[in-house]
Structure formats: structure tokens, C-alpha cells
Amino acid sequence: MSKMIYLDHAATTKTLPEVAEAMEPYQEIYYGNPSTIYEFGEKSREAIEHARSVIARSIHARPEEVFFTSGGTESDNWALKEAVLLHERLHGGRKGHILTTPIEHHAILNSCKELEQMGCGVSYLKVDESGRVLLNEVEGALLENTCLVSVMYANNEIGTVEPIDELGRMAKKHRLIFHTDAVQAYGHIPIHVQRENIDMLSASAHKFGGPKGVGFLYIRNGIKLPAFIHGGGQESSRRAGTENVPGIVGMGKAAELAHQRMQAERRRIKYLRDYLAYRILQEIPDVMMTGNRKYRLQNNASFCFKGITGEAAAILLDTQGICVSSGSACSTGSIEDSHVLKAVGVKSEWAQGALRFTLGAENTKEEMAYTVEKVKMVVQDMRGNGLG
């Protein structure tokens, strides 16, 4: 097979042709600043508000609850840091406390580390061997000053989908703000912020066929989250800076397409993922699949191969035209075991051989069959040559 097989859609996705087409006029024709009062700028403003409405409908929110950002990392930082600041303002400067998990994206974990250095308390909820939060331990971890619960919707490495419904109900019961990093989930599985009692939600356009450098943060009405970036009055004075109009337009179009195609695409990709996983587990010895089998992103197949090094295997697969990840994209280059695999109890001899395959719109069964053969070859060669 001569063409590249891209199986790293959790890292990023191709910008869809329809998305690029929707963006083009706002790069070349309607390039006016949306904050201006003349009609030329108003074209940009209308395009932004249309995208806001599309995204709001997709999660069953109101348009005024959607705020555009530069991506998931900024949205996560804004949600955590300003929720803690809000608590301090409402409680006479008293420091708050956050509940999160040890398997979050580093945008959450490193924000928590910084907040801890500033005097905020952080507790990490236990997860089971599949990465699901142990719900019976949540209420026991609450403190008098707990102000925020932040649990990712779906894990970027092992694909496990968390019990968001139950966590949202618990947070509401104790009058806590509930935030979820939905960067991997949004555009791939249905989300209903009202029904799931989600107060804040982060997403990033390039994970569902949109452009890089743009995302959003949903903030439920009534949560007076302070501004994260100060300057002009953009985004209702909550997030200053001239808007990335083409990016926002592209994200809106990508969101529209993702939700139109979601049901059929989920079935198709799950079939391909299951085919890939079944053959790898049946045809390669000393391999285990990580993450939850039932509560899982449809496009995620993550494995640990005993006796090899995942990063070296990913490089060898690249020479065969196959793009996969040896861990989460943002931690590539680390020689330590994945923090996610550590948290779910995978021993180092297995965790060193982690490979993640994440499928997307362009993948085919023929590509899955080719990939299985090349994975078998690479694993066999590495074990036989002592390259593990």
C-alpha cells in the first residue's frame, strides 16, 4: 500500500474540504474586524454568531453560553484557574479545592500543579483498571472548600468514557461547578449539557475536522467566571482579543458536519476499530488492550505489547507508511511511562510497549488489514532482535 495510513486522529484530524471552503471567504473577501460598526465588519460578526449558534445547539446550550478560545488547552486553563479565583472572591479570599483525576490531559494536570503552588487544594479521584472514576469514592473526597469537579469526558490515550451523568448529578447535589474536558469527545459522541448537569465544557476544533488554533468553552448561565484574557470587549468582555473569524467559521462548519454524520460514522468506525482490535489480540502474542471495552470512544484502539518499546515501534511503523502514537500527542518524547497507564495499574514492562490507534473518516477495512500485518511484522522483528 503506497499511500499513508493515518491512525492518529486523537492527535489531530484533517481539516475537512467543506470546512476549508467555508473559511475561505473570511480570509480573502470578508476580512473585516468584527468589532467595527460598518457593514464590512458586520459580515464577520454575523459569521461568528452563526457559528456560536450551531455549536450551542450541538450541546443543547444557549448561544450566549459559548465562548471562543484558541483551543482546548486555553479553555481548560480558563475553566480551572478562574473557577478557583471566583471561589476566592465569593469567600473573602479563602482558597478553594479541586477534585479531578490522575488520567487527565496535561492541560488540566499542569494547571492543577500551578494552582497548588498558589495555595489551592487538589485531590485526585481514584480510577479503576479501565480508567473509569470510582463513583463510590467521590463524595468522600469532597471538602468544605471544594469548588470545582473537573473530569474529562473521554480519555485521549485509552479512550475510556467517564460516567459524566453520575458525576454531574453529584456535583449538582453538592452545589459544585462541574467542568469536563471534552476535547476527545465533542463531535464524536452526543453531549447534552443540560441533561448531564455540565456547567463548563472545553473543546478544540482540530479534533473533529476543523482548523487548528480555535476552540470553545461552554459556561453555563449564572456562573460568573472571570475573564481569562483582559483587553477589549470581545466575547462579552470575557475573552479579549480580535476574534479568529476564519477559524471560528471553520469550527462551526466542522461541528455542523460532525453532528450530521455522527450516527452513521460511529457505526462505521466502530466496525473498523473492532476488526483491527480483534485481529491484533488474536494474532499477536503478549498483547493487551487498555481502556474500557464498553464505555469507550468508537475510534480508539490502544494496546500494550510486552517486550517492545512503543516509541520505537511507532517509528518503524512510520517507515511502512502508518502513523500511530506511542502515547498522547502532547507527551511525545517523554521516556517515562504514560501517567494514564500508571494510574490504571499497568506495569512498566507492559506500559513501555504502548501504541494507540485512533481512526477517522478516511480509514478503510483494507487499511486495517494492512496495518495488522505490519504491526505483526514490527513486533515480531523487535522481539526477535532484542529491540524491546
Q: Does the annotation count 323 as an active-site position?
A: no
**DSSP character string of 207-257:** GTTS-SS-EEEEE-TT--PPPSB-SSSHHHHTB-S---HHHHHHHHHHHHH
The Cα 337–Cα 309 span in angstroms is: 11
CA end-to-end span of the chain, whole Å?
26
CA gyration radius for the chain? 21
**DSSP character string of 282-303:** HHSSSEEE-S-SSSB-TTEEEE
- Write a three-state SS string for 99-158: EECCCCCHHHHHHHHHHHHCCCEEEECCECCCCCECHHHHHHHCCCCEEEEECCCECCCC
* Helix axis angle, 39-58 to 245-283, nearest 10°: 30
Cβ-proximal residues to 147 (8 Å cutoff; 6+ apart), any chain: 83, 84, 86, 87, 96, 97, 98, 176, 177
Helix, strand, coil percentages (3-state) for the chain, rounded to 5, are: 45, 15, 40
Pairing of strands 66-69, 322-323: unpaired
Identify the CA nearest to 168 among candidates 131, 200, 137: 200
Number of H-type helices and E-type strands within the chain: 13, 12
- Active-site annotation holder among 112, 120, 323, 330: 330
Tell me how crowded residue 223 is: count the other CB atoms within 10 A of its CB. 15
The Cα 248–Cα 238 span in angstroms is: 17
Q: Where in the sequence numbering do the catalytic residues fall?
A: 330
